[in-house]
Amino acid sequence: MHTHDQLVKNLMRRPGVRVEVERIEREESALLDALLKARQEAGLTQGQVAARMGTHAPAIARLERALASGKHSPSIATLRKYVKACGKRLVLRVA
């Protein structure tokens, strides 16, 4: 029986899997960068964004941390609320 770490290690040896994981990581990193930039440009703290979204600062910290770690993908509705709280609007593009 394989442990989770062994399974991941074996899967990552496959070229197609590695390429896809790296693509997802790049996209999530770009998304996190865009969200943090929007918050910074708005001059807002996590707590201020949270208040505007009707939630609490730890939720915003978890959202930002989840994107950084790649362990969670927020919903489009959550992303829309976050950027709206920063005075921006969410624009999705399929290329």
CATH assignment at residue 60: 1.10.260
Instruction: Flag whether 36 is in a domain.
Output: yes
Instruction: Flag whether 94 is in a domain.
Output: no
- Percentage of the chain exceeding pLDDT 70: 98
- Number of independent structural domains in the chain: 1
Instruction: Flag whether 1 is in a domain.
Output: no
φ, ψ dihedrals at 75, nearest 5° = -70, 160
Instruction: Flag whether 10 is in a domain.
Output: no
Q: How far, CA to CA in Å, does 71 sit from each of 24, 64, 65, 66?
A: 11, 11, 9, 5
Burial degree of 38 (CB within 10 A; 0-12, 13-18, 19+)? buried
Residues 6+ apart with CB under 8 A from 22: none
pTM of the model: 0.72
The whole-chain average pLDDT of the chain stands at: 87
Q: How far, CA to CA in Å, does 28 sit from each of 56, 64, 90, 94?
A: 23, 10, 15, 15
Domain span including residue 54: 29-85
